[in-house]
Homo-oligomer: A and B are copies of this chain.
Amino acid sequence: MDDLESKAARTRRRILDASAHEFALYGYGGASLRRIAAAADLKVGSLYFHFKTKDELVAATLVDGVDWARTQLRAAIKAIPADATPQERIRLAVRGHLEALHASHDRAAAVVRMVDTLPAELRASHSEHERRFARVWLDFLREGQAAGTVRTDVNVRVLRDLVVGALNSTASVNPSALRSADLIAETWATLLVP
């Protein structure tokens, strides 16, 4: 009765994990609550005790994924040694992003897979979280520019979009992308350092 993690909380976690996997595989429209329930070791009807609606589950999955990824990315950036070279700094941030995407039991990938086919209401409620994630990159790049470790001859917002877009696209195009994470990190480092 006074579990640190109540039964409901544990079940909710299982549902969210199953949910992330399902949405990452099939997208918003193709996902099935039946399969999600089965993967979470529940009967379909039981989902509704935890989430009143499919869209509520989607929303929770999106928040779960994007917030977790933001935390990961920010941690990776914070962990950069003070004496790292400019290239090294960018490499570590890029790897942080890619690891969040790929080593996350689909939590972050689900977001990328769903985001562009969401119905209007969900998209709206999600966009703020997305903005918060993007701001981590924006701050990182801006600080780099201020410190002279990121080139300043480009619009930093556009640059942020390109970086985020390119990295996220690895979630789909290439499931073995993590193997080439080093190459990708290296490439961005080369492009971004003045």
Chain A residues with a Cβ under 8 A of chain B: 25-31, 112-113, 115-117, 151, 153-155, 158-159, 161-174, 180, 183-184, 186-188, 190-192
Contacts and interface: CB of A to CB of B under 8 A. Distances in A.
B190 A162 contact: no
A117 B26 contact: yes
Contacts of A29: 26-31
Chain A interface main SS type? helix
A172 B116 contact: yes
Nearest to A184: B158
B166 A162 contact: yes
Nearest to A177: B161
A184 to B, nearest CB: 6
Say how many copies of this protein the assembly contains: 4
Given A28-B27, A158-B180, A166-B166, A116 B187 contact: no
Given A29-B31, A169-B168, A170-B165, A154 B190 contact: yes
Contact of A113 (B117, B174, B183, B184): B117
Contacts of A174: 161
Contacts of A167: 165
A169 B165 contact: yes
A45 to B, nearest CB: 11
Contacts of A162: 162, 166, 184, 187-188
Contacts of A188: 162
Nearest to A185: B158
A27 B24 CA distance: 12
A68 to B, nearest CB: 20
